[in-house]
């Protein structure tokens, strides 16, 4: 595959991810095979936890089906380890719906996304240059209930979105990164930026 010119609609895209990230194809014809491969990898050598194994399989299939209904193309899950722990993070790649007859400049999209923020939400919105061209970056912090600590306790998840215009079309490729670990949010956001920065179009 080779890079394309900016005014030519691409046939595909390429992303570079670090070791330890697992790709789940969301197309119904390939979804279950991808999920089964991940489950078998995670439970390799563990034969005494069939209930947990099936629980994970069911949860992943549910998440994958939901992502596909929202226009998702691929879902990547982090299996990177830090000592005895797996660093939880995900990347959902989505082809954003066509809302305009003509391509929308990234600066206009950035203003629209900033204006759509929920009350009390202050997302960081900016236009960044990545390998695939100018993209709109949105970083959000979202309060999440913590069932382990009671309904009133909360923790925050962090997400980073990249809205990347698809050349020759009015569509955007949306990369949505997220992690529930707010204490390492800055480090994870740096990793997310590096992955998004590797995006290239191919013919």
Tokens 């960081």 correspond to: 124
Coil, strand, or helix at residue 185?
Answer: helix
pLDDT of residue 1: 40
The DSSP letter of residue 6 is T
> Exposure string (b/e) for 61-73, b if CB count within 10 Å is 16 or more?
bebbbebbeeebb
Query: Is the Cβ–Cβ distance between 193 and 18 less than 8 Å?
Result: no
pLDDT of residue 117: 74
Over its C-alpha atoms, the chain yields an Rg (Å, rounded) of 18
Query: Is the Cβ–Cβ distance between 92 and 63 less than 8 Å?
Result: no
Phi, psi of 25 (to 5 degrees): -75, 135
What whole-number distance in Å separates Cα of residue 35 and Cα of residue 22? 10
pLDDT of residue 168: 85
What whole-number distance in Å separates Cα of residue 167 and Cα of residue 112? 20
pTM of the model: 0.84
Does the CA dihedral 63-67-73-79 come out positive or negative?
Answer: negative
* pLDDT by 10s per residue, the chain, length 203: 444 445 678 889 999 999 889 999 999 999 999 999 999 988 887 877 889 999 999 999 999 999 999 889 999 999 887 777 788 899 999 988 666 667 778 899 899 888 887 766 678 999 999 999 999 999 998 876 655 555 544 677 899 999 999 988 888 999 999 998 888 889 999 999 999 999 999 98
Of 93, 143, 95, the closest CA to residue 118 belongs to 143
Query: Is the Cβ–Cβ distance between 90 and 178 less than 8 Å?
Result: yes
Find the helix packing angle between 28-42 and 50-69, rounded to 10°.
150
What whole-number distance in Å separates Cα of residue 45 and Cα of residue 48? 9
């Amino acid at each position: 595959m080779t890079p394309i010119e900016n005014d030519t609609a691409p046939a595909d895209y390429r992303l570079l991810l670090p070791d330890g990230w697992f790709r789940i194809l969301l197309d119904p014809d390939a979804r279950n095979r991808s999920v089964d491969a991940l489950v078998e990898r995670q439970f390799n050598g563990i034969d005494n936890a069939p209930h947990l194994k099936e629980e994970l399989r069911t949860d992943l299939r549910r998440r994958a089906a939901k992502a596909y209904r929202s226009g998702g193309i691929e879902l990547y899950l982090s299996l990177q380890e830090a000592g005895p722990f797996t660093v939880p993070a995900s990347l959902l790649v989505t082809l954003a719906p066509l809302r305009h007859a003509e391509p929308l400049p990234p600066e206009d999209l950035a203003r629209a996304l900033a204006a759509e923020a929920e009350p009390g939400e202050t997302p960081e919105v900016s236009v960044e240059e990545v390998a695939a061209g100018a993209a709109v970056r949105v970083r959000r912090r979202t309060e999440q209930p913590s069932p382990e600590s009671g309904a009133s306790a909360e923790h925050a998840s962090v997400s980073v979105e990249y809205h990347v215009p698809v050349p020759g079309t009015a569509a955007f490729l949306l990369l949505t990164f997220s992690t529930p670990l707010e204490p390492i949010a800055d480090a994870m956001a740096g990793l997310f930026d590096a992955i998004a920065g590797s995006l290239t179009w191919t013919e």
